[in-house]
Amino acid sequence: MHNNLGLTLRHIFRKYVKNSKYLQFGSNNKIPLTIRLKTNLIGNNNEFLIGRAFFYNNFFFKIHGSDNHIIIEDGVAFNGGNIWIEANNCIIKIGKETTFESIHIALVEDNTKVTIGEDCMFGNNIEMRTGDSHAILKNGIKINKGQNIEIKNHVWIASNVIILKGSIIGENSIIGNSSIVTGVIGCNSIYVGNKIRKVNEGVNWSRSK
């Protein structure tokens, strides 16, 4: 009876750890007290630097690791999704006035970085990953190592886009709906497609209609 009770309690605890948005375990984690961030945090020496006029709705941070840094500059807004770090010594930096409808940003490899510039605009249901979450081995050696993601200033990402590890998107560019981004995307260009390709160049974009 006691063993069954113990198993039940451990199951409940694991489920709580997985799903809670207000869990915090660890030491020397620096979280701003002026903002009630929804955090599922297990680790040490993680730091949140949040700028002024930060807005979030239906958004949470899951950090399972240590020595990670989350830097969000002034005027950033999230309207859904999460930042998900399951690694150590990672950095995510989001520039001023960048807005998100809903996004899943996953840093799943140690020492990886996601950098998003200023005045970027992200649509709904976007996924961004610095790794594959699971190892692919050849002769016992991992061959699918994590890579950084960099998005320059004033980039527009339409809905349902997936941005994979190693991607770099040049400033003023546009990524079309449901595209999969890999590699280097040039500046002032429009790219679309499952196998992404350039369809125009010499362009810019504006938030106005």
pLDDT in tens, 73-132: 999 999 999 999 999 999 999 999 999 999 999 999 999 999 999 999 999 999 999 998
Q: What is the pLDDT of residues 25-69, one digit of tens each?
A: 899 999 987 778 899 999 999 999 999 999 999 999 999 999 999
Least confident of 90-104, 134-148, 192-206: 192-206
Q: Cα–Cα distance between 176 and 199 in angstroms, integer? A: 10
Compare 80 and 139 and report the one with higher pLDDT: 80
What pLDDT digit, counting tens, does each position of 153-195 carry?
999 999 999 999 999 999 999 999 999 999 999 999 999 998 7
Taking the mean position of all CA atoms in its chain, how far away is CA 183? 18
Q: Which residue has the higher pLDDT, 90 or 198?
A: 90
Q: Going from the N-terminus, what domains does the chain have, and what CATH number goes with each?
A: 22-131+144-201 (2.160.10.10)
Average pLDDT, the chain: 89
Which residues, in sequence order, are bridge partners of residue 192? Answer: 197
Per-residue pLDDT at 17 exceeds 70: no
pTM of the model: 0.85
